[in-house]
């Protein structure tokens, strides 16, 4: 009996600690502050979620990403870069440590027990934002380093992903040796039909090439134009045009750079308006609380919880820049929804597999307890069923301060040095002076249609 009491204590503690999806609640609180424009409270909330431990754990990387975004939006570039530096340290730590043991450890509880290790696009955007911070501070040498790091991350991403899949497969093979029930559950046709119906749009979209973020490539190209490295800029702009061929501004950039390389000179100065538009996707939880796989009354609860992407609205369809009597509407250079969905699609098989392993392990535990011939068996089985229900939770952690899409417009440096930028449908306009620069990037961010614009002027002489 003493062993049963101990079991009750352990299960009860698990229910208390894991009985709700803490990361989901935390992100909803943060998002509420951030979307309302209360950056101070959003930053304070995120700061409280960072641990003080030397090595990263739990959600440290996630909240450092959020904080880096907030400080950048507030033009606190040094603070933003410090948080993003911390993110890079954590990404490096997890890259070296790998994913070994994740599938096994998550089987006992859920994926939320695994530290948030970031996505490939997280790392790319960290370096892009650091580069933009340095550009805003006039430190072009460091900006170039960060753009090169972003491009290197993209080149190594596919190799990194394949290595992680191989590690996960080894874990799954070990698990299958211990549990013959797993494969039966995974192959259940009822379950497969539900998954296919819920995630049908995951395969019904045109993805970017594996782990390539067109904005990272394009923005690096613009930077190297302004920094005078036209050969490198041409290479990057060709790659960008190959991904986003319908964007006329990228074609104009590429044509201008090629003209310069052909000895035809430059065009006397350019302004780029970069528009960070709206809010990127969040992850929501989808539960199947039905005994789909284990047909026995000795298993009181069997269910899984999976994340799915929920897409949020753009702030505006475009912005308009007016100068010298002409109007230029921004055009999408990167659909961040598509970037995120591309990687989520790659990860989904592993996410689904770990969820099935976890549910199967918990069902087997309930069945084993119910089969014990003693007075405490039924109570223990009931408690374990409650534990199974309470710990069935999807991992919904995601960098929610990213934009929905990023757009660009480009035009010659205005004669009077003034650019008037406005959203459509009579939105409030604002005017920017770029007179003292040869080339200039006006970086504009709207997270909602009712929020105030955040913008910065990055000039090159």
Query: Rounded CA gap, 401 and 435, in Å?
Result: 32
Q: Tell me which residue has tokens 């340290």.
A: 89
- Domain limits for position 129: 2-265+338-395
Q: In this structure, is residue 311 part of a structural domain?
A: no
Number of domains into which the chain is organized: 1
Q: In this structure, is residue 290 part of a structural domain?
A: no
Q: In this structure, is residue 196 part of a structural domain?
A: yes
- Residue 207 has phi, psi (to 5 degrees) of -85, 155
Per-residue pLDDT of the chain (461 residues; tens, 9 = 90+): 444 544 444 445 444 444 456 788 999 999 999 999 999 999 999 999 988 776 666 789 999 999 999 999 999 999 999 999 999 999 988 877 665 555 545 544 456 778 899 999 999 999 999 999 999 999 999 999 999 999 999 988 877 776 766 666 666 566 555 555 556 666 667 777 888 888 888 877 777 877 789 999 999 999 999 999 999 999 999 999 999 878 999 999 999 999 989 888 766 799 999 999 999 999 999 987 654 454 455 555 567 889 999 999 999 999 999 999 999 999 999 999 999 999 999 888 888 888 877 777 666 665 555 656 555 555 555 555 555 556 678 899 999 999 999 999 999 999 999 999 999 987 889 999 999 899 999 999 999 999 999 999 999 98
Q: In this structure, is residue 16 part of a structural domain?
A: yes
Q: In this structure, is residue 156 part of a structural domain?
A: yes
Q: In this structure, is residue 38 part of a structural domain?
A: yes
pTM of the full structure: 0.87
Q: In this structure, is residue 327 part of a structural domain?
A: no
CATH of the domain at 59: 1.25.40.10
Q: In this structure, is residue 382 part of a structural domain?
A: yes
């Amino acid at each position: 009996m003493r062993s049963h009491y101990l079991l009750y204590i352990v299960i009860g503690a698990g229910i208390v600690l894991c009985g709700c999806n803490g990361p989901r609640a935390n992100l909803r609180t943060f998002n509420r502050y951030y979307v309302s424009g209360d950056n101070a409270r959003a930053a304070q909330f995120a700061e409280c979620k960072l641990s003080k431990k030397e090595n990263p754990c739990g959600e440290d990387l996630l909240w450092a990403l959020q904080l880096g975004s907030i400080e950048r939006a507030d033009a606190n570039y040094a603070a933003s870069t410090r948080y993003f530096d911390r993110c890079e340290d954590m990404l490096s730590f997890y890259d070296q440590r790998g994913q070994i043991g994740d599938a096994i450890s998550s089987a006992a509880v859920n994926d939320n027990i695994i530290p948030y290790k970031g996505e490939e696009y997280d790392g790319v955007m960290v370096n892009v934002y650091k580069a933009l911070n340095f550009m805003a501070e006039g430190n072009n040498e460091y900006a170039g380093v960060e753009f090169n790091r972003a491009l290197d991350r993209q080149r190594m991403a596919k190799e990194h992903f394949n290595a992680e899949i191989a590690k996960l497969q080894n874990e799954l093979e070990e698990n299958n040796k211990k549990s013959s029930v797993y494969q039966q559950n995974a192959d259940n046709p009822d379950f497969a039909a539900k998954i296919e119906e819920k995630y049908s749009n995951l395969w019904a979209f045109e993805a970017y090439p594996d782990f390539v973020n067109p904005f990272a490539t394009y923005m690096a190209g613009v930077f190297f134009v302004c920094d005078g490295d036209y050969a490198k800029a041409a290479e990057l702009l060709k790659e960008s045009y190959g991904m986003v061929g319908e964007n006329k501004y990228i074609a104009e950039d590429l044509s201008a750079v090629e003209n310069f390389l052909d000895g035809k000179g430059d065009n006397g100065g350019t302004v780029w308006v970069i528009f960070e538009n709206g809010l990127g996707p969040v992850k929501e939880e989808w539960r199947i609380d039905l005994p789909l796989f284990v047909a026995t009354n000795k298993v009181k609860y069997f269910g899984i919880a999976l994340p799915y992407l929920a897409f949020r609205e753009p702030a505006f369809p475009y912005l308009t820049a007016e100068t010298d009597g002409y109007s230029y509407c921004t055009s999408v250079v990167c659909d961040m929804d598509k970037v995120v969905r591309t990687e989520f699609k790659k990860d989904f098989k592993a996410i689904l597999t770990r969820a099935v392993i976890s549910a199967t392990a918990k069902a087997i535990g309930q069945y084993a307890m119910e089969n014990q011939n003693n007075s405490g068996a039924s109570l223990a089985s009931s408690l374990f069923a409650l534990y199974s229900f309470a710990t069935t939770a999807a991992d919904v952690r995601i960098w929610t301060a990213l934009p929905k899409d990023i757009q660009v417009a480009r035009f010659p440096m205005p004669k009077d040095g003034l650019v008037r930028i406005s959203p459509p449908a009579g939105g409030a306009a604002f005017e920017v002076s770029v007179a003292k620069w040869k080339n200039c990037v006006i970086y504009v961010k709207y997270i909602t249609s009712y929020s105030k614009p955040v913008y910065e002027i990055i000039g090159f002489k």
